[in-house]
Amino acid sequence: MASPRERTLAVTDLQVSVGDGLVAVQDVSFEIGRGESVGLVGESGSGKTLTCRAALGLLPTTGRVDGGRIVLGEGPQAVELVGARRSTWDGVRAGRIGAVFQDPASYLNPSLTVGHQLAEQLRVKRGLRRRAAHDRAVELFAEVGLHDPAAVFHQYPHQLSGGMLQRVLIAIAISCEPELLIADEATTALDVVIQAEILALLRRLRETHALSLLLVTHDLAVVAESCERVLVMYGGQIVESGPTAQVLGDPQHPYTRALMAVATIGDWGRRRLDVIPGQPPAAGEEMPGCRFAPRCPVASAACTAGPVPVTDLGGGRTTRCVRSILDEAVPA
């Protein structure tokens, strides 16, 4: 998994529990290089949102990081985020990590203009004067592709469409020149045309700002076009990871295959919709071996005999499937 690039985020053996010590994320390790885009994919309840919330220090009140490390940056700039103090978090959120979420309207104050809300960030976090903050805000609105940015500055959230609000939130998120942008289902609620525009915008910002991107989504198709690497999560664990084209071209974990079958493939002629039978395991559910085994079409006795470790397949690819250990091909 070694990345030749400078490291932006390194998560090691992360364990998160919710409620009464129910383990929801376990044994999660990954890295994001500078300017790299990584997709985190899984069904509802796979632990993908908890993982990114842990990196933002925004776990729900019942959530807790039980173990592992989350390190932002490298060398003298490195900050350990697990157990960080309030003041450390303030610094990190003010200038090093930005985030956008699924429902942009609920993250904006409905009674203030969107320009005011962006300028406020610039004044508080960057220390700009009122005039300079206004000018910079208009510049940022233009950069995220809002037409007539000077007019948008004076509009209230209810006057803008969902796609425009998401652009406003992206402008706010990048206003502090972060190293890492986390997008949690940021395009899920948008229609396909706007979704494609927002994904293109994220790609462009990544190039112009050397921004690292963690894109969290349940839709593999979104990842396919926007991310260099993909992490597939299931039942709180990463079950497969690697360069996107290779993982999608030759998936090694049966769950990745299952996700590909249900994903929005661009085949207009298809006349059947696949489903993954059964339900994912609940948080805290104890399972003897592979967590996907009860739903896996190719499960065998070896799958539930004991914990399944991560296998390094080389070339930056990993999988958590007994067949890789036994060196057996996964039947199609």
Partner 1 sequence: MSTTHPTRAPHDVRLAASLPPTPAPLLRVRGLSVSYTPPRKGTHLGTGAALRDADLEVRPGEIVGIVGETGSGKTTLARATVGLVAPAAGEIEFAGEDIGGLRRRARRAFRRSGQVQLVFQDPLRSLDPDLTVTELVREPLDIAGTLSRAERGQRVAESLRLVGLDPEAVADRRPRQLSGGQRQRVSLARAISTRPRLLFCDEPVSALDVSNRNLILNLLDQLRTELDLAVVIIAHDLSSLAGIADRVAVFYRGRIVEQGPIRAVLEEPAHPYTALLTASAPTIALGHEDRLTPDRLRPDPDRPAWPADLGCVFAHRCPFAHDACAEQPRSAPLPHAPQRQSACHDAVVWRERLDPPHPQKESA
Residues, the chain: 332
Query: 178 and 146 in contact (C-beta within 8 Å)?
Result: no
Residue 257 sits in the site that holds partner 1 (CB under 8 A)? yes
Residue 130 C-beta: closest distance to partner 1, Å: 26
Residue 150 sits in the site that holds partner 1 (CB under 8 A)? no
Q: What single string gives the DSSP state of each residue in 230-294? A: EEEEETTEEEEEEEHHHHHHS--SHHHHHHHHHS--S-TT--------S-PPPTT---SS-TTGG
Query: 28 and 8 in contact (C-beta within 8 Å)?
Result: no
Residue 204 C-beta: closest distance to partner 1, Å: 5
Q: How many CB atoms lie within 10 A of CB 77?
A: 11
Q: Which stretch binds partner 1 (CB under 8 A): 6-14, 172-180, 259-267, 309-317?
A: 259-267
Residue 177 C-beta: closest distance to partner 1, Å: 19
CB-count burial class (<10 Å; 0-12, 13-18, 19+) for 148: exposed
Instruction: Give 15's contacts (C-beta < 8 A, 6+ positions apart).
Output: 23, 25, 26, 27, 28, 65, 66, 67, 68
**Roughly how many angstroms between the first and final C-alpha of the chain, as a whole number?**
26
Residue 224 sits in the site that holds partner 1 (CB under 8 A)? yes
Integer-rounded Cα Rg, in Å, for the chain is 21
Residue 142 sits in the site that holds partner 1 (CB under 8 A)? no
> Rounded to an integer, what distance in angstroms lies between the CA atom of residue 5 and that of residue 38?
14
- Nearest residue (CB) to partner 1, 177 versus 225: 225
**Residues in region 68-127 near partner 1 by CB under 8 A:** none
Q: How many CB atoms lie within 10 A of CB 132?
A: 14
Q: Which stretch binds partner 1 (CB under 8 A): 53-61, 235-243, 268-276, 316-324?
A: 268-276
Residue 80 C-beta: closest distance to partner 1, Å: 33
Provide the β-strand partners of residue 181.
98, 213
Residue 2 sits in the site that holds partner 1 (CB under 8 A)? no
Residue 248 C-beta: closest distance to partner 1, Å: 5
Residue 81 C-beta: closest distance to partner 1, Å: 28
Residue 245 sits in the site that holds partner 1 (CB under 8 A)? yes
Nearest to 217 by CA among 15, 19, 12, 42: 42
Q: Which stretch binds partner 1 (CB under 8 A): 61-69, 121-129, 190-198, 319-327?
A: 190-198
Work out which of 4, 76, 127, 249 binds partner 1, going by CB under 8 A. Answer: 249
> Could you give the strand order of the β-sheet that contains 180-184, starting from the edge strand earlier in sequence?
97-100, 180-184, 212-217, 37-41, 229-234, 237-243, 317-319, 311-314
Residue 263 C-beta: closest distance to partner 1, Å: 6
Residue 308 C-beta: closest distance to partner 1, Å: 20
Residue 145 sits in the site that holds partner 1 (CB under 8 A)? yes
Work out which of 59, 248, 293, 310 binds partner 1, going by CB under 8 A. Answer: 248
Angle among Cα 73, 75, 79 to the nearest 5 degrees reads 45
The helix (H) or strand (E) run that includes residue 174 is: helix 162-174
Residue 191 sits in the site that holds partner 1 (CB under 8 A)? yes
- Nearest residue (CB) to partner 1, 70 versus 172: 172
Residue 258 sits in the site that holds partner 1 (CB under 8 A)? yes
Residue 42 C-beta: closest distance to partner 1, Å: 9
**Residues in region 20-79 near partner 1 by CB under 8 A:** 43-44
Site of interaction with partner 1 (CB under 8 A): 43-44, 145, 159, 161-162, 189, 191-201, 203-204, 218-222, 224-225, 245, 248-249, 257-277, 279, 297
